[in-house]
Structure 1
Amino acid sequence: MTHKETHDDKICSKVEESYHIIGKKWMCLIVHTLLKEPKRFSEIHAFIPDLSKRVLNERIKELEECGIILRNVILDRPVRTEYSLTKKGVELGRALQEVEAWAEKWF
């Protein structure tokens, strides 16, 4: 933190970055689908059918880069890939559940 950068500026930039991530269309729903258990790509897609496979692939990559989702290749026959939430992702999921409760009450 530079001498000109205040604590509030640093917090504001972190909040802005988090809203940039979760504000992208489909991000929160993807996290929601993974809250209870890991899922394969096709299972996530089946849960959110209006989400194209191309965009789902892009969003999963973004969530991986942010450390929210973990990609796990399972070497059984046949080989398959599952996605799960990291600790960071689970905490985000819990925060989003509060938003879901708010939505249930007000919408």
Structure 2
Amino acid sequence: MTDDSGFDVDRAFCPDYHRAVELIGRRWTGVILRALLHGARRFSEMRDVIPEMTDKMLSARLRELEAEGIVVRHVTADIPVRVEYALTDKGRDLGETIAALSAWADRWAAVEGTQNGP
């Protein structure tokens, strides 16, 4: 059965959709992706733009995103060694999704007890 928009109501639970939401919805992952949408960043730069996140959690999330093919790790053999993280094509393809979620958050997400939205 489909609704007026053509959405297959009987397939509301889609394993692929569920996997994607669980991956992107993990704690801190959205913030990391949003930061990387603006270009490659070194670990310390990411830590600076996400100050509440621990180094251990940032490392874990970056490894997970790398394993999923969303983030790539570039090591430059400088002294000291430089490590940068960047989005792959697969990761950059999330740009519209992150932008849409950001717009939704600006409109609806309450911060410090404020009421947003219409």
Which TM class, normalised by the smaller chain length?
A: 0.7 to 0.9
Task: Give 1:91 deviation, angstroms.
Answer: 1.0
Higher relative contact order (CA 8 A, sep 6+): 1
Q: What's the TM-score once normalised by structure 2's chain length?
A: 0.78
Instruction: Count how many residue pairs are aligned between Structure 1 and Structure 2.
Output: 99
Aligned to 2:50: 48
* Range that drifts further, 19-28 or 70-79: 70-79
Task: Give 1:20 deviation, angstroms.
Answer: 1.1
User: Runs of at least 4 residues of structure 1 off by over 2 A?
Assistant: none
In our comparison, the structure showing a higher alpha carbon Rg is 2
Aligned to 2:116: none
The unaligned stretches of length 5 or more in structure 2 are 1-9, 110-118
Q: How does 1:34-73 map to 2 (within 5 A)?
A: 34-73=36-75
Q: How does 1:1-107 map to 2 (within 5 A)?
A: 12-107=14-109
After superposition, give the CA deviation of every residue in 1:56-87 in whole Å (9 maximum; x if it has no partner).
Answer: 10000000001110000012333210000001
* Range that drifts further, 56-65 or 97-106: 97-106
Equivalent residue of 1:37, what SS? coil
Aligned to 1:3: none
Q: Distance in 1 between matches of 2:29 and 2:48?
A: 15
Percent of aligned pairs with the same amino acid:
39
Structure with bigger helix share is: 1
Q: What's the TM-score once normalised by structure 1's chain length?
A: 0.86
AA aligned to 1:98 is: A
